[in-house]
Structure 1
Amino acid sequence: MKSSNIGGQAVLEGIMMKHGNEYSVAVRKPDGEICVTKNTYRSITGKLEGLTKIPFVRGMFNFVDSMVLGIKTLTYSASFYDEEEEEKELTEEETAKKEKKEKWMMGGAVAFSIVAAVAIFMVLPYILSSLLKPLIPSYQTRTVIEGFVRITIFILYVLLISRMEDIQRTFMYHGAEHKCINCIEHGLPLTVENVRISSRQHKRCGTSFLFFVLAISILLLMIVQVESPLMRVVVRIALLPVIAGISYEVLKLAGRSDNAVINFFSKPGLAIQKITTKEPDDSMIEVAIQAVEAVFDWRTYEAENFHVGEEL
């Protein structure tokens, strides 16, 4: 199986798909119609976009880029379901002000998300494991416990939000996204029938990336040791770009390899995906297919990689 290098995420009643710098958003509107838009995304690195291509450096930048694009497309999809729609057309000045405000709000949302994630998944587990020092003097042992606490918090968080009705539908769209990519990468024509029978788990999923971040952090934090409790917190934050960089490369490798060892280490992330993806209905699959076709020529990809004939 050769990676198609297409990825995406679920949004409100829809799917975002990205291939290269192009991305599409397909949303099922309240009236049942599917609205598809296509745009080009520019990395937050700006003129230094080459940083997103350097191995072990690109991981952190690609992670932040995916958060920015994710929030942007999620906000866009939510606009179809706003209860109060603007009744008048905006002037150019009003439009510019609105776009500037949305940009600042998006930046604030990304910043808050990163700070909250660091506090909950990095700092809190360290504090909790530190309480065990009188019982467990070994720093290495406490670091391993800290890692498992971190993973447990992550799984409990996913289980908690999965109980929300809106999140359940989003997880169904997430499943449709994975099924479409698996359908393509296994050489099947992209039809509702073929997508339906495809797997809803994929090794390149962001869920697997987050698991790799949590798992790899255990190994690095056992290697990098400092005495001061304050510096230990600083080290955990400072190592995040390194952890993200390594995790991203492992994820990329997993996405293009069927090696038994790689598959073994991918299993925990795939298991968690059983929570973050649900089986979609056919209407959701239709949305996902349109999102894919807006940015990716799957017929050419399959013809080149699977020698599929003219019947496609």
Structure 2
Amino acid sequence: MKSSNIGGQAVLEGIMMKNRDRYAVAVRKPDGEIFVQTEEFHSVTGRYKKLTTIPFIRGVFNFIDSMVLGIKTLTFSASFYEEEEEEKEFSEAEQKKKEKKESLLMAGTIAFSIVAAVAIFMVLPYFLSSLMKPVVPSYHLRTVIEGFVRIGIFIIYILLISRMKDIQRTFMYHGAEHKCINCIEHGLPLTVENVRNSSRQHKRCGTSFLFFVLAISIILLLLIRVESPLMRVVVRIALLPVIAGVSYEVLKLAGNSDNPFVNLLSKPGMAIQKMTTSEPDDGMIEVAIQAVEAVFDWRAYERDNFHTS
């Protein structure tokens, strides 16, 4: 199976699909119409775009790009479902002020998300495992336990948010996104029926990336040992870019290989995807197809990669 290199994300009542330097957001509006917007993608690296192509370094910047684009497209999709307000004309100065405010809000959201994620998934598990020192004197064993606590917190977090109605629908759109990509990468025409019959799990999923981050952190923390409790916290934070870089390379390898060993490495992340994706309805699949077709020529991909007699 040849990777199409397209990726995406579920948003509120819709799908974002990205292909190279373009992305599209397709949203099912409250009146039932599908709205599609296509934009050019700009990396956070700006003119130093080469940083997104250097192995192990590219993973850090691609992760940041994904966060920025994800929050931006989520905010865009949510705008269709905000409470209706009185329409009013904005002057050019007011419009620029509004856009600046939205940019600052997005930057603040990203910063808070990163700090919260580090605190919950990196620092908290360390302190919880440290409480076991009287009964588990081995540092290495506590580090392994810390890793499993980290994975446990991640799974509990997914289970808790999956109880929310909006999240349940988002997980259905997440399933539609995966099904579209699997349909394309198996050489099938992108129709509602073919997408419906495709798998909702995909090896390049962000859920699998997060699992690799959690798993690889166990290995690296076993190799790097410091005595000071404060320095142990510092090391866990400082290693995050390294962990993200390695995890990205593993995910990229998994998405481009059918090697049995690589498939085995992908299985835990694929299993967790069963919690972050659900079977979509046909209407959701239609939204996903429009998002794909706005940025990706799947017919040309089929001609180039699948030969029929």
**TM superposition score category, shorter chain reference:** over 0.9
Task: Name the structure 1 match of 2:56.
Answer: 56
In the alignment, the residues of structure 1 paired with residue 162 and residue 37 of structure 2 have an alpha-carbon distance, to the nearest angstrom, of 28
- 1:164 counterpart = 2:164: yes
TM (norm. structure 1) is: 0.98
Which stretches of structure 1, 4 residues or more, deviate above 4 A after TM superposition?
A: none
Deviations 1:276-299 (A, max 9, x none): 000000000000000000000000
Task: Name the structure 1 match of 2:11.
Answer: 11
- 1:37 counterpart = 2:7: no
In the alignment, the residues of structure 1 paired with residue 85 and residue 22 of structure 2 have an alpha-carbon distance, to the nearest angstrom, of 28
Amino acid at match of 1:217: S
Q: CA deviation at 1:63?
A: 0.5
Q: CA deviation at 1:21?
A: 1.2
Task: Name the structure 2 match of 1:78.
Answer: 78
Q: CA deviation at 1:140?
A: 0.4
Unaligned runs of 5+ in 2: none
Q: CA deviation at 1:187?
A: 0.1
Q: CA deviation at 1:243?
A: 0.2
Q: CA deviation at 1:95?
A: 1.0
Task: Name the structure 1 match of 2:25.
Answer: 25
TM (norm. structure 2) is: 0.99
Q: Report the secondary structure of 2:36's partner residue.
A: strand
Decide whether the 8 Å contact of 1:302 with 1:308 is kept in 2: no
- 1:236 counterpart = 2:236: yes
Q: CA deviation at 1:245?
A: 0.2
Task: Name the structure 2 match of 1:253.
Answer: 253
In the alignment, the residues of structure 2 paired with residue 29 and residue 308 of structure 1 have an alpha-carbon distance, to the nearest angstrom, of 39
Decide whether the 8 Å contact of 1:16 with 1:23 is kept in 2: yes
Deviations 1:119-177 (A, max 9, x none): 00000000000011111111100000000000000000001100110000000000000
Q: CA deviation at 1:308?
A: 4.8
Question: How many corresponding residue pairs?
Answer: 309
Task: Name the structure 2 match of 1:303.
Answer: 303
Unaligned runs of 5+ in 1: none
Aligned-pair identity (%): 79
RMSD over equivalenced CA pairs, Å: 0.8
Task: Name the structure 1 match of 2:129.
Answer: 129
In the alignment, the residues of structure 1 paired with residue 121 and residue 219 of structure 2 have an alpha-carbon distance, to the nearest angstrom, of 16
Decide whether the 8 Å contact of 1:187 with 1:308 is kept in 2: no
In the alignment, the residues of structure 1 paired with residue 30 and residue 258 of structure 2 have an alpha-carbon distance, to the nearest angstrom, of 41
Amino acid at match of 1:180: C
In the alignment, the residues of structure 1 paired with residue 13 and residue 284 of structure 2 have an alpha-carbon distance, to the nearest angstrom, of 8
- 1:270 counterpart = 2:270: yes
Q: CA deviation at 1:88?
A: 1.3
Deviations 1:230-280 (A, max 9, x none): 000000000000000000000000001000000001000000000000000
Q: Report the secondary structure of 1:46's partner residue.
A: coil
Q: CA deviation at 1:84?
A: 2.8
Amino acid at match of 2:29: K
In the alignment, the residues of structure 2 paired with residue 233 and residue 307 of structure 1 have an alpha-carbon distance, to the nearest angstrom, of 54
- 1:66 counterpart = 2:72: no
Q: Report the secondary structure of 1:69's partner residue.
A: helix
